[in-house]
Amino acid sequence: MPAVDKGHLPLEAWSNLYLFASAAAATLVGLLFVVITLAAERQPPGEWKRIRMYLTPTVVYFAVVLLLAGALIIPTQSRLSAALCCCGVGAAGILYALSLLWGRPDGGRFRVRGDAWPYSILPACAFCLLVDGGVTAYASDPDTGLTMVSIAMLALLGLALRNSWSIAVSVIWPPSGKGGAKSRD
């Protein structure tokens, strides 16, 4: 096995994945905004607090993937700067995702208890993997660390995609009793 350069990570080998993830995240955020804009007139005024409770974390997870992928393809990225980037984003993400369990200052809370899993708990686990990947990439095995970072990013992308679909369906087909249509979620 060749000696590992302590200053740099083999990020160029991962650049296609980061470009794919960032393009997917940017495209899906755009589509989510289109769906919400088109459906805005269909929602009663009281529903926007609930929609914001679900929409904000989804946009945050897409944005994290987009920004982290962009940061990791910077040509001058060192092992230390990449690790700090992954660990900083991961730690902030853990705090953010877990803060959703307590609700928002404006009183917004998850309507269904099971919604905490895809919007808060599973993303917090992905952010933990991101921190662990950053530490591993810096301290011991860059390839394993970058694999963990990539899995965390893809997990966040997948969760945000799942959450986007759930939001789109709930906005398009309101539950029975709110416009006569049946729920399709």
Give 11-28 pLDDT, tens digit per residue: 889 999 999 999 999 999
Amino acid at 158: G
d(CA 170, CA 152): 27
Q: Do 149 and 134 contact (CB within 8 A), yes or no?
A: yes
Cα–Cα distances in Å, from 130 out to 68, 89, 116, 137? Answer: 10, 8, 20, 10
Please, what is the average pLDDT of the chain?
86
Would you state the structure tokens that stand for residue 52, as one six-digit string?
């914001």
Q: What is the pLDDT of residue 127?
A: 98
pLDDT value at 108 more than 80: no
Whether residue 175 is predicted with pLDDT greater than 70 in this model: the reply is: no
pLDDT at 184 exceeding the cut of 50:
no
Q: What is the pLDDT of residues 47-105, one digit of tens each?
A: 777 778 889 999 999 999 999 999 999 988 999 999 999 999 999 999 999 999 887 66
The DSSP 8-state label assigned to residue 177 in this structure reads T
pLDDT at 182 over 70: no
